[in-house]
Amino acid sequence: MTPSISPVLETNMFDLETASANLPGPGWMAQRRLEFVEKMKSAKFPTTEEELWRYTDINSFDLNKYRALSVNELGQPGEQKSPGGGVVAAEAGEHSALIIVRDGRVVHHSLSEDLEALGVVVTGIEEAQGEIQEKMLQFLGSVASETADTFVLLNEAMSIGGTYIYIPKSVVVPNPIVIVHWCEGDNVAVLIGP
């Protein structure tokens, strides 16, 4: 028989509140993370008694085996840890845009000049400014705010970035937009979204 409540949230080894508060990023992002930390206080991790998780060994998941990345490991928003995309860009093939996400933060993004001229936007959410930021914030987290899924809440509570892609109506993007997620370190809690 499986337990009805996962023991993950019953320990203080992984301090989500402190880990989330220590993450870098703009003030609006820190406030957003705090809202999801509050939601996590009443969340329960799923068990194999739920149909969705029946065939996944979710009961052995232990968040306490992981650690949050430090600011030194992550770098500050806008810090480019992968100039030009390096080898990854060469392996991505023909593409309209390339985004490299390292440990949850966009560290490189490029977009063809033709698409940029047509109003297409590809950027890290923590780097968005002005009109682009306003448009992005209208939609950012609109689905996550309505869910009780523990992993979605945890992802949002630990979010340090993500990718914002905007394609105006009637604009055709001729080649793929490639997003590469790259994670480093042992036992780190890297929660990533697009």
Domain assignments of the chain as residue spans, ordered by start: 7-182
pTM for this model (two decimals) = 0.73
Task: Provide the Cα torsion 101, 106, 108, 110; round to 10°.
Answer: 100
- 81, pLDDT greater than 60: no
What three-state secondary structure class fits 52? Answer: helix
Q: How far is CA 46 from CA 50, 122, 176, 190, in A?
A: 7, 34, 35, 19
Query: Over pLDDT 90: what percentage of the chain?
Result: 19
What three-state secondary structure class fits 68? Answer: coil
The reported pLDDT for the residue numbered 19 is 84
Average pLDDT estimate for 15-33: 87
Strand-strand pairing, 177-182 and 121-124: unpaired
* Residue 27 DSSP class: H
Helices and strands counted in the chain (H then E): 7, 5
Average pLDDT estimate for 16-26: 85
Those residues whose C-beta lies under 8 Å from the C-beta of residue 167, and which sit 6 or more positions away, are 120, 173
